[in-house]
Amino acid sequence: MALRSRTHASKSIIPLRISLLLLLLSTPPCSSSTIIQHGEAESLLRWKSTLSAAASASPLTTWSPATSSSACSSWRGVTCDAAGHVAELSLPGAGLHGELRALDLAAFPALAKLDLRRNNITAGVVAANVSTRASNLTYLDLSDNAFAGHILDVLPLSPATLQQLSYLNLSSNGLYGPILRSLSAMGKMTVFDVSRNRLNSDIPSELFTNWIELTQFRVQNNSITGSIPPTICNTTKLKYLRLAKNKLTGEIPAEIGRLASLQALELADNFLTGPIPNSVGNLTDLLVMDLFSNGFTGVIPPEIFNLTALRTIDVGTNRLEGEVPASISSLRNLYGLDLSNNRFSGTIPSDLGSRQFVTIVLASNSFSGEFPLTFCQLDSLEILDLSNNHLHGEIPSCLWHLQDLVFMDLSYNSFSGEVPPMSAYPNSSLESVHLANNNLTGGYPMVLKGCKWLIILDLGGNHFTGTIPSWIGTCNPLLRFLILRSNVFNGSIPKELSQLSHLQLLDLAMNNLVGSIPRSFGNFTSMIQPKTELNLPWKVQHHILDGRVDYTYTDRIGINWKRQNHTFQGTVALMAGIDLSSNYLSNEIPSELCNLESMRFLNLSRNHLSGIIPKEIGNLKILESLDFSWNELSGSIPSSISNSMSLSSLNLSNNHLSGEIPSGYQLRTLADPSIYSNNFGLCGFPLNISCSDGSNSTSALIGGSTDSQELEILSWFYSVLAGLVFGFWLWFGVLLLFEPWRFAFFGQVDHLQKKIMQKICCMYAKSE
């Protein structure tokens, strides 16, 4: 019976539940049926009247007096509570221009969330009757706007009235001044973000004393000074500590090891010093550790290798030393490892632990030994930089099988042997390959034939031999930088290189190349229009924590620039030019090269080029460095060269040039005579040789006539002096050598003296 009664009761409840469900479905949400409080709608309309919206599809187009009674449902960006009070005002990226002070927050007692990010709003004039009533605001996002001034100038209410505020984002504005300790009055703070401003002074220790619920502290990209307060240990719920790109000094406090919940420790680009504290090893939840570009010393604490959750370690550009311990193999979840620009030594551990690596950067240390074969097992690897170490041995062929590898830099080591032949698994992702300054031998690497996305290739400073293959023009169509200098390549330059429409830098200097310069080089499309964008790829991105982590790499290219070797990085994207110097090239300089108006340097020196300098050379108006020295060029220097107003380095020496050196303002600044030396037919400034017609190339310039007059006076003086010396020895030399002439001469002198004395005596007698 009991069982039966229970069953009956259940059957009687079912219709009731169905009827309640139908009632709920037929009733709209409270925000859509609730009528907004009349005064709050008017306040919103008043604020709207002070704003301008850049976009025609702005949410403000729905704000109208005619629909004010249904604002809770029809006004975009407005959300109300059950009582008709505005609880949320969310207008991100709405193209708004205006002032925040024009919004009377006191008229919205229930407002909990205000989101105006990504607009063009300013603070405005502070009202005289600022409300002192406690606010219910818990969420305030004013990031990516046009706010300027101090933090208190931007906050719509005083910190004392914002005690419920837990989320504050003022990032990416123009704020300056200190982070005030009065902000600690907002005791429920969980997320504090003032990154990407111009804030300075110290971090108040009171913030970490009062903000015990803090989970995110983002102050990166400012000018914060002082040290990290030890009171940070009070924020035990802190997950993200982001202080990168400031001016912090001192050491990392050992108390940081108490932040057991910390997931991101980002202190990069500061002036922090001292050792990395061992207490960092207590941060067992840590995923990201960015400490690069500081002054840390000592060794990496072994406790760090117990942090098995770590995804990224970047301690590059410090003064750390010692060997990398084998215990790094315990970090099985690493995506990125950067130990570059330190003083690490020893061999690279054969097992780095993780098989998920995206980037490994160990450049500019003192690592020795051979290439670790275990790197070939890292199928996800995209960035590999082992440059500037003491590694030796052969480059393993398996390295070219890594299908995701984008950037590879093994330059400035002692790798030897031949680069493997054509791979059975051609890498289709490689964009940048740097093998310069090793001891590599053999012919041009055939394995590069499968790298169709290649943008930068630097094989300079090796011992590669043979000819330069013609297939480069078709198999590597995206090449922008091709550097083969300082090798032993021979044969002629393949004209198929002109198919590289993206090529902007070609360096074949210091090889054994012969033949002519291909006229088709004038078709290098990318050298015709000047480069204005830094548009080289420089990073790969992966999602870690709440956003993307950028793994960056730097393309470094060595160029003989203005008669000196320079290494360009970053700005190399703006560089365009050709260097074919120190080969055995012959015949004329193709005039088609003068079509390449974006070139900043052109070096054809130390070849056997003949003929004249193309008269169109003046088309290269932004050319900064021109070197045609040590060739067999003849004829005159084209007057159009004076059109190259950026020319700051010129060398035409050791040729057979003749005629007057062209004048021009920019050429006037190149006053070193050696740039024209050993051209015995040249005359004019800056040579001390006047032209045969009496003119001087500088006479048209200010001060030119003065220089010419001074030169003529100096020439006349030396001529007169030479005549006197010659005349003196012509007469007196004869008197000394021939005795009869000497007696006759001195006899005449005596006779003349006697007559003079008689005259004097007669004049004296008459006067008495």
Q: 176-205, pLDDT tens digit by residue?
A: 999 999 999 999 999 999 999 999 989 999
401 within a domain of the structure (yes/no): yes
544 in the same domain as 411: yes
Sequence length of the chain is 768
- What is the pTM for the complete model shown? 0.81
Instruction: State the DSSP string of 30-42.
Output: HHHHSPPPHHHHH
Q: What is the pLDDT of residue 23?
A: 37
For 388-410, write each residue's pLDDT tens digit.
999 999 999 989 989 999 999 99
pLDDT, tens only, 132-170: 577 899 999 999 999 999 999 999 889 999 999 999 999
Q: 354-368, 549-563, 586-600: which has the minimum mean pLDDT?
A: 549-563
Instruction: Give the residue, 14 or 535, on which the prediction is more confident.
Output: 535
Tell me what the mean pLDDT of segment 671-682 comes to: 93
User: Going by C-beta distance under 8 Å and a sequence separation of 6 or more, which residues neighbour residue 575?
Assistant: 504, 505, 531, 557, 559, 568, 600
DSSP assignments along 572-613, one per residue: GGG--EEE--SSEEEEPPPGGGGG-TT-SEEE--SSEEEE--
The SS3 of residue 716 is helix
Q: Do 535 and 451 reside in the same domain of the chain? A: yes
Q: Is residue 127 included in any domain, yes or no? A: no
What are residue 736's phi and psi, to 5 degrees? -75, -30
Looking at the structure, do residues 545 and 643 belong to the same domain, yes or no? no
Ranking 298-302, 369-373, 404-408, 736-740 by mean pLDDT, the lowest is 736-740
Residue 742, pLDDT above cutoff 90? no
Give the E-state strand segments of 75-155 in sequence order: 78-80, 86-90, 96-99, 113-115, 120-122, 139-141, 148-149
The reply to whether 669 and 721 lie within a common domain is no
694 and 566 together in one domain: no
Whether residue 384 is contained in a domain is answered as: yes
Q: Output the six-digit token pair for 662.
A: 């062209």
Q: How confident is the model at residue 765 (pLDDT cuts 50, 70, 90)?
A: low
Reported confidence tier of residue 13, pLDDT bands at 50, 70, 90: very low
If asked whether residues 461 and 526 sit together in one domain, one would say yes
680 and 749 housed in the same domain = no
* Mean pLDDT computed over 544-570: 65
Q: Is the pLDDT of residue 740 over 60?
A: no
pLDDT bin (cut points 50, 70, 90) of residue 424 is: low
Determine the pLDDT at residue 129: 42
List the single range of 140-144, 354-358, 461-465, 753-757 with lowest mean pLDDT.
753-757
Output the domain CATH number for residue 402.
3.80.10.10
For 49-58, how does the pLDDT look when each residue is reduced to its tens digit (9 = 90+)? 999 876 667 8
Residue 280 domain flag: no
Domain-terminating residue out of 110, 135, 164: 110
> For residue 314, what pLDDT is reported?
95
> What's the CA gap between 517 and 587, in Å, rounded?
8
Mean pLDDT of 371-388: 93
665 and 544, same domain (yes or no): no
Q: Are 660 and 695 in contact (CB under 8 A)?
A: yes
The pLDDT of residue 663: 87
- Give the tokens for residue 265: 């420790």
| Residue where a domain terminates, one of 79, 110, 141 | 110
Print the domain residue range for 67.
36-110
User: How is residue 222 annotated by DSSP?
Assistant: S
Which of the given ranges, 9-13, 54-58, 528-532, 676-680, has the highest pLDDT on average?
676-680
Instruction: Give dist(CA 606, CA 585) in Å, integer.
Output: 9
Whether the per-residue pLDDT at 728 is higher than 60: the answer is no
In a shared domain, residues 442 and 467? yes
- pLDDT of 53 reads 78
pLDDT at 733 over 90: no
User: What pLDDT, on a 0 to 100 scale, did the predictor assign at position 549?
Assistant: 61
H/E run at residue 505: strand 505-507
Residue ending a domain, choose from 110, 125, 154? 110
Amino acid at 629: S
What pLDDT score was predicted for residue 761? 59
CA distance 610 to 622: 25
Note the pLDDT of residue 21: 37
Mean pLDDT check: name the lowest of 312-326, 351-365, 708-722, 742-756: 708-722
Confidence of residue 123 (pLDDT cuts 50, 70, 90): confident
Pair 663, 766 in one domain:
no
Residues 414 and 545 in one domain: yes
CB atoms closer than 10 angstroms to residue 280: 22
Residue 275 lies in a domain: no
Please tell me the least confidently modeled range out of 218-227, 341-350, 534-543, 600-609: 534-543
Please say whether the beta carbons of 157 and 137 come within 8 A: yes
Residue 71, phi then psi, degrees to nearest 5: -60, -35
Residue 588 belongs to some domain of the structure: no
Residue 438: predicted pLDDT: 97
Q: What percent of the chain has pLDDT over 90?
A: 67
Give the pLDDT confidence score for residue 235 in this predicted structure.
Answer: 96
Q: What is the pLDDT of residues 467-511, one digit of tens each?
A: 999 999 999 999 999 999 999 999 999 999 999 999 999 999 999
**Residue 698 in this model has a pLDDT that exceeds 60:** no
The per-residue pLDDT for 38 is 78
Instruction: Judge whether residue 65 has pLDDT over 80.
Output: yes
The percentage of the chain sitting over the pLDDT mark of 70, rounded to a whole number, equals: 78
- pLDDT value of position 16: 35
Q: What is the secondary structure of 537-566 as a DSSP string? A: --EEEEEETTEEEEEE---EEEEEETTEEE
Residue 607 falls in which region: left (phi positive, over 0), alpha (psi -120 to 50) or beta: beta
694 and 711 both lie in a single domain: no
Ordered alpha helix ranges (H), 114-177: 151-154
Residue 557 lies in a domain: yes
Residue 344 lies in a domain: no
- For the chain, the domain total comes to 5
Instruction: Calculate the average pLDDT of the chain.
Output: 84
Find the mean pLDDT for residues 264-292.
96
Q: Which amino acid is at 82?
A: A
- Asked whether residue 710 carries a pLDDT value surpassing 50, the answer given is no
